[in-house]
Structure 1
Amino acid sequence: MTTPADTALLPAHFRTELRTDVTRGLTASPKRLPPRWLYDPLGSELFEQITQLPEYPYTRAERSILAQCSPAVAALTGARTVIELGSGSSEKTRILLDALGEHHTQLTYAPVDVSASALAQAVAALRADYPHLTTVPLVADFTTGLALPPLPGPRLLAFLGGTFGNLLPGERAVFLRSLRSRLDPGDRLLIGVGLVKDPDRIRAAYDDAAGVTAAFNLNVLTMLNRELQAEFDLSAFEHVALWDAANDWIEMRLRSRREQTVVLHGLGLHVFFAPGEDLRTEISAKFRPRRLAEEMSQAGLQVSHWFTDPDQLYGLALVARDDEPAPPAR
């Protein structure tokens, strides 16, 4: 899923972006919202619960792969700085930091997140457990451009959690080209993606039996009611998860149970929903290794190493600029 947005304490520019996204998305056909707005404080808590559900294997698989591959990643990259995009709690990143610490006594960690509160909590915990680690927290939305301060190289940009799959293909292309322009020689990108598997298993991960994902999805309406003085009746919508085989992605939607008009007083907007009409709140693309390599290549990047779990539910790709010699992918 995607990077948390702390909408309870939105800075002015994030509030402006929320207003723009909601106005554009709710007046579009079909209706849609960017997935980042799913992650207010309650949404973030619900997502943490989702990652522990038996139906949702991706977080466990990624942690397992990191435990296996981090020593190799540390040896291959020699990174002195880890920059994590959408860092959240930074829990999984500790596996990388421990491995890199075997090679360097002085490491720098730059977590990047739109949530200032999440960054503050993560950095406080890291400073307590890693007293020699230099931390440079950055409050920023990396999907809209990212200016990095001078940091010791070589650098490893970590983009974990499958957030890359929340971007549409065109957005992924722009994002990768932007990253390519920021990679210095010797820098590497470590990116995590869910893999294409049985559609029923994928659907279950986004529509669990306990209803946690449904509560997570519906919570975005609560956020809109709070932040934009909207009048969404949560009981008038239901959570839906659909697999799109043509695009290899799962869609989360909120489906209107009846004909209704919702007023968003903060925007002066009246939004009509027909019975059965959907509001898309997230896509989560799943990848095939060859397709991921092609997307990287089109952005001037190359996959040098590939790591996955025994069930091939999830993959981590170590990526370099395409003008640098790299060992063949494995």
Structure 2
Amino acid sequence: MKIALIGYGYWGPNLAKNLYINKNIEFVGICDQNLTKLKKAKEVYGENIFYTTDYKEIMKDNSIDAVAIAVPTEYSYAIAMDALEVCKHVFIEKPIASTMYRAQKLVDKAREKRLIIHCDHIMIYHPVIRYIKNMIDRGELGNLLYIDITRTNLGPIRKDINAMLDLAVHDIAVINYLAGNPDFRELSAMGEVCYGKQETLTFLNIKYDYFIANIKSSWISPIKERRTVVAGTKKMAIFDDVAIDNKLTIYDKGIDVKSTDEYGEYEVHTRLGDIYIPHISNEDALQNSVTHFCECISNHKESLSGPEQSLKVMKVLEQAMKQLHND
């Protein structure tokens, strides 16, 4: 299938590379308003594809089956809507839109046109997250107790969205994926504007029916952290995405709690099991995401990070943003 890329800025080059090498795709073109960026793209892809500063040229080309959109969130909605209007499938960088209203409009249009819309919640395509998901589904972790995620770095500090919309969107998607897309019961959010006009540091706590989740997001940490802790009643999984090797560690430790006949007392037994590091294939999450998008188009099936998941993520984000701004 023929796919063109719109946006060759921060994330665009990574997406372009993965589109270009995917065996299911004929990567046909790149659009960016910045001529310097287009020049850099041409140095990589030569005359094999076309280059344009006007995305409407891509919309007019009926031979192009889908577009990948990697532009700032404030501009992605209009481009995605234009693409759906002319019957092109859409691969869009996270978040799917800046508001729940816009996200719903995109989803409604995609369903009306019977097209695939795929939001690149890249972490749910990471082999380690998939491994943890399989453990949960098989009951190896037991019942979920909590998920704690930290995602921090020094920059980049964005103007269009805050740290929560930029970073926590990944983690909300992961939580929903691991837990089977549950609705949340309540949440609380806090943030601080340290530089510029957007929150550069945010904390988000979410209560679900049977577990809780905590997410820390920061653009101003001198330490780069990408750490996910998934704790169950049987085992705990810790995913360190910054580690070069051995990214996942499983702790077969915990406590067994039983009621006793004495009022208000519990009998607690500490369980000391093994700590082990499973072997996990070294797959590229973005390539998995791109391949899944193609498979959804070919098989006419909804993406894992399509309408249902994207709207669930946006619902959390919108409620959290209201709390941040005291709306």
Tell me if TM exceeds 0.5. no
What band does the TM-score fall into relative to the shorter chain?
Answer: 0.3 to 0.5
**Comparing both chains, which one has the higher relative contact order based on Cα–Cα distances under 8 Å and sequence gaps of 6 or more?**
1
* Larger Rg, first or second structure (1 or 2): 2
Larger strand fraction of residues? 2
